[in-house]
Amino acid sequence: MATVELRFSASPEHVRTARLVAAAVARRAGVEESVLDELRLAVGEACSRAVGLHAAHALDTPVRVTLSEGEKAFSIEVGDDAPPPGGQRAEGPGDGEADQLGLAVIRGLVDDVQVTSDARGGLIRMSWPAKPPSLA
């Protein structure tokens, strides 16, 4: 089960909120401080991309972010409701230059990343190693 779920209307001004929430939950989950800047940037890129796709397809549904704390990893999923371009998600010819730059940044920052889709639309899955703080 997701530790924290966030849905926000697909407007640029909410992307910062998503970044801040993701970084706060990741810190609590034991993601190393040195990685938090990269995590914040990657989540921001994924959310900006989703906001752009919703605008491009005139969708009024929210962008979905789930933040999940695992035993050894902290994972984030960012989901959009955009239809797959030409039957292929995310890297089809329908994507703009800005979108490609955003994906390039995510791939450069995150070792474990999947650009995929679910029943709703596109999905970017990212995870980072985490050591939950001991309770001792």
Partner 1 sequence: MDLSLSTRSVGDRTVVEVGGEIDVYTAPKLREQLVELVNEGNHHLVVDMERVDFLDSTGLGVLVGGLKRVRAQEGSLRLVCNQERILKIFRITGLTKVFPIHATVDDAVSATD
Residues interacting with partner 1, by CB under 8 A?
A: 12-13, 15-16, 19, 37, 40-41, 44-45, 48, 51-52, 97-98, 101-102, 104-105, 108-109
Question: Smallest gap, in angstroms, from Cβ of residue 108 to partner 1?
Answer: 3
* C-beta closer to partner 1: residue 23 or 25: 23
* C-beta closer to partner 1: residue 19 or 68: 19
* C-beta closer to partner 1: residue 14 or 28: 14
Question: Smallest gap, in angstroms, from Cβ of residue 129 to partner 1?
Answer: 19
Question: Smallest gap, in angstroms, from Cβ of residue 135 to partner 1?
Answer: 31
Full strand arrangement of the beta sheet holding 73-79: 4-9, 62-69, 73-79, 122-129, 112-117
Return d(Cα 135, Cα 84) in angstroms, integer: 45
Instruction: Decide: 3 and 69 in contact? Cβ < 8 Å.
Output: yes
Question: Smallest gap, in angstroms, from Cβ of residue 36 to partner 1?
Answer: 10
Contacts of 89 by beta carbon, 8 Å cutoff, 6+ apart? 115, 116, 117, 122
* C-beta closer to partner 1: residue 51 or 69: 51
Give the tokens for residue 38: 């990269």
